[in-house]
Amino acid sequence: MKKRKLGNLEVSELGFGCMGMSFGFGPAGDKKEMIGILRAAVERGITFFDTAEIYGPYTNEELVGEALGPVRDQVVIATKFGFDIKEGALLSDLNSKPEHIKRAVDGSLKRLKIDVIDLLYQHRVDDKVPIEDVAGVVKELIKEGKVKHFGLSEASAATVRRAHAVQAVTAVQNEYSLWFRRPELELIPMLEELNIGLVPYSPLGKGYLTGKIDENFKFTEKDFRTMSPRFAPEAIKANQGLIGLLNEIAQKKDATPAQIALAWLLAKKPYLSPIPGTTKMSRMEENAAAADIELTKQDVEEIETAASKIAVQGERYPAHLEAMTNR
């Protein structure tokens, strides 16, 4: 698989979002099986892995640490701080106080069984702590050798600029896909100006863009998509036009809808690396093969022209979680 640059950090063209193996989409996957998938992803050329202390909480970092320990010198590991974790909570209050960040980093290093975090993100912007203070703490952690690169997740363009003035931001992680394109408005032009990479999470629309979810799909009790207005049965049905579009293009390219959705992202900008996640070996292989699909400029224009005529229904998060984004 080809490499790309996020700022001055080299990563594989496609990364791997590890969250769903432990958290968010129902019961955690079988540990041995998940480790097998992660190691197979490395063999397939995927070397960029994303986790966070909140995923579990904690168990996803432990899984990633165990899985990637034998290949540590081949991979880039990204993790995140920023939630004030309370036992048993799906998501809890934000906390980016300097002392909390330092404790979080020490915990992540221990769970991941590594000496340095390759890319450390603030998971969500904490409006109670100036971003300059957050960037300053990460700058200290970089000097101490505990962190290599600084990132932000779901931050506004203005906040990224302020952080970057204190400590260079290597990458911004944001939801970005054919069904959520807000980053194109202000964020992406700013990233290009400042030579900051983009890491699209949920590049397959939390599974929707695979074409495997319809209004009759049954989510498990612990699946966080049950909280999302965009996954209400009526919204799922209303958004099928997007799946029809992907299917049409996929047939022309001898590909799957998921592969077209990923190939579209890869064709957009050279400084982004999407991080699709999965708990299935076959899906990992399918996602990885998307890097082999080349879309021409005309292909991209045709996809976007058709997609612009489809109004996506439903908000991506419930209001209290959406309020944590684009700050």
The domains of the chain, with CATH numbers, are 3-206+268-293 (3.20.20.100)
pLDDT value for 222: 86
Question: How much of the chain, in percent, has pLDDT values that exceed 70?
Answer: 98
pLDDT value for 86: 79
Amino acid, res. 201 = Y
Catalytic annotation present for 55: yes
pLDDT value for 90: 62
pLDDT value for 88: 61
pLDDT value for 221: 85
Are 81 and 147 spatial neighbours (Cβ–Cβ below 8 Å)?
no
pLDDT value for 89: 63
Catalytic residue among 55, 176, 201, 208: 55
| CA angle (68, 70, 74) in 5-degree steps | 70
Which stretches of the chain score pLDDT less than 70?
Answer: 88-91
d(CA 34, CA 18) in angstroms, rounded, equals: 9
What pTM, to 2 d.p., does this model score? 0.97
Strands (E), the chain: 3-6, 9-12, 16-17, 48-50, 76-81, 117-122, 147-153, 169-175, 197-201
Q: Where are the alpha helices (DSSP H) in 144-232?
A: 157-166, 187-194
